[in-house]
């Protein structure tokens, strides 16, 4: 019975130790995130400008090939709504 008591005591001390270390890691992580956000705030990304040219239209042969490929891959459940060259 003595070994059981020592085992339970050791388990409780170990679990409390792990819990305290995890709390320390979480709080230091939050602190580090706040410090980094103050020192180096996120840069604003400028929106992309619309393309000056309109994309070239896809010819009917290429469109039919795309439709056939999508039909085969999706088992007839998919369809091509639109396609354009990029």
For 19, the domain range is: 1-40
Q: What is the pLDDT of residues 27-39, one digit of tens each?
A: 999 999 999 999 9
Band of pLDDT at residue 60, cut at 50, 70 and 90: confident
Q: Tell me if 12 is assigned to some domain.
A: yes
Position with higher pLDDT, 67 vs 54: 67
In the three-class reduction of DSSP (H, G, I as helix; E, B as strand; rest coil), residue 74 is classed as helix
Band of pLDDT at residue 56, cut at 50, 70 and 90: low
Instruction: Give the CA angle between residues 76, 77, 82 to the nearest 5°.
Output: 95
Q: Where are the beta strands (DSSP E) in 1-86?
A: none
| Number of domains observed in the structure of the chain | 2
Q: Tell me if 5 is assigned to some domain.
A: yes
Q: Tell me if 53 is assigned to some domain.
A: no
In the three-class reduction of DSSP (H, G, I as helix; E, B as strand; rest coil), residue 63 is classed as helix
Q: Tell me if 84 is assigned to some domain.
A: yes
Residue 1 sits in the same domain as residue 36: yes
Q: Tell me if 8 is assigned to some domain.
A: yes
In the three-class reduction of DSSP (H, G, I as helix; E, B as strand; rest coil), residue 68 is classed as helix
What pLDDT, on the 0 to 100 scale, is given for residue 21? 98
pLDDT higher than 90, residue 7: yes
Half-sphere exposure for 32 (CA within 13 Å, toward CB): 6
Q: Tell me if 50 is assigned to some domain.
A: no
């Amino acid at each position: 019975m003595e070994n059981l008591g020592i085992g339970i005591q050791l388990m409780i001390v170990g679990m409390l130790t792990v819990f305290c270390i995890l709390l320390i890691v979480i709080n230091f992580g939050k602190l580090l995130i706040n410090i980094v956000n103050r020192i180096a705030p996120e840069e604003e990304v400028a929106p992309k400008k619309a393309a000056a040219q309109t994309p070239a239209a896809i010819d009917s042969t290429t469109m039919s090939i795309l439709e056939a490929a999508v039909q085969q891959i999706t088992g007839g459940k998919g369809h091509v709504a639109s396609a354009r060259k990029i």
